[in-house]
Amino acid sequence: MIKKFSRVRTGGRIISLVYTYQISINHEKLVREELVKRYSYSSRLIREIKRIGKISLNQRECFLGQQIKPGDVIEIKMPCEDIDGEPVSGNLNVVYEDEELLVINKPPFCVTHPTKTHQLDTLANYISYYWGERGVSAKIRFINRLDRDTTGIVAIAKNKYVHHYVQKETNSGKVIKVYHAFVHGKLPHQEGIINAPIGQPYENSIHRVVMEDGKPSVTRYKVLEEFKDASLVELVLETGRTHQIRVHMKHLGNPIIGDPLYHGECMQTGSFEMPHQALHAHRLLLSLPSKKNLYVQAEYSKNLTELHKHLRENKEKKVME
């Protein structure tokens, strides 16, 4: 069990975290085995901590092959890290933050990390500035990424252990990502599962398509609300392919409103004046090393709120007619 969880500060800056574990009755034999099997440390991370951090047993530096017994205390001091992004002042909508995690509600038209065409106007730049102003010293490790025009939850780990821990939880299906999408038309069923492999039609293609030899891709959906010519759908990802929701909704015959890549023939009926795809990362449920079942939710952006209002008003007009 985690006995305590503390921060190490230098000159007002949070430079490291310390995880302390008290050995229970049902323990492994060695320090290394306890950390790997019970607390989800990777062997690579343990070696790195041993090299530039610190691993202690009962307040004394120890060997990884040292035996442990009930009542012993293992202390892990995470390696000190510097912020690795170029700091640029920008607006950040912080949904949640603690010593291990930062969660942002990303606006549309914002790139997650620097690219050739976006060097100083990305989330990474804004987070670097934000952490620098608050004395946080950590590398920026994105747990999830969103397309430039997709809005909603982006989570960032504050140390390598947290990032590895959450990725392992994701691979075992314990991390739940819930999206909301406004799509063209009405779906054939109120809820269902889209199990359709996704791949690239040709090398270096930006587009993704459903194809027989694509990678397995599964999306669960549920209709939350129906309008005159559109629907609000809740979607849960069981796999994480590029453009998965956008491709699957087009495959179903209900492309996302305002989507410039996967709109199909629906753009002929109008984009409802949406300047970007109406896709939003709405909720996230995950666990962290220091806490279980952390739930975060991000409100709709202004554009999505206005679209929702417009669709409802048109629906009411139809009923009155």
| CATH code, domain carrying 125 | 3.30.2350.10
Full residue range of the structural domain in which residue 289 is found: 94-320
**CATH number of the domain that 33 lies in?**
3.10.290.10
* Domain assignment of residue 89, yes or no: no
Whole-prediction pTM: 0.90
Partners of 183 in beta bridges: 231, 256
Is residue 119 scored above 90 in pLDDT? no
Answer whether residue 167 shows pLDDT above 50.
yes
- Residue 269 pLDDT class (50, 70, 90 cuts): very low
Same domain (yes/no): 262, 133 = yes
Question: Do 239 and 147 belong together in one domain?
Answer: yes
pLDDT value, residue 15:
62
- β-pair type (279-288, 151-157): parallel
- Whether 263 and 116 map to the same domain: the answer is yes
Question: What is the pLDDT of the chain when averaged over all its residues?
Answer: 90
Measured in whole angstroms, the distance separating CA 299 from the mean position of its chain's CA atoms is 15
Residue 83 located in a structural domain: no
Residues 72 and 98 in one domain: no
Domain count, the chain: 2
Would you state the pLDDT for residue 303?
95
Report the percent of the chain where pLDDT is more than 70. Answer: 91
Do 257 and 288 have their domain in common? yes
Question: Across residues 114-134, what is the average pLDDT?
Answer: 92
Domain boundary among 77, 102, 128: 77
pLDDT in tens, 246-261: 999 999 999 999 998 9
List Cβ<8 Å contacts ≥24 apart for 57-64. Answer: 57/31, 62/31, 63/31, 64/30, 64/31, 64/32
Q: Which residues are catalytic?
A: 147
What is the C-alpha to C-alpha distance for residues 77 and 126, in angstroms, rounded to an integer?
27
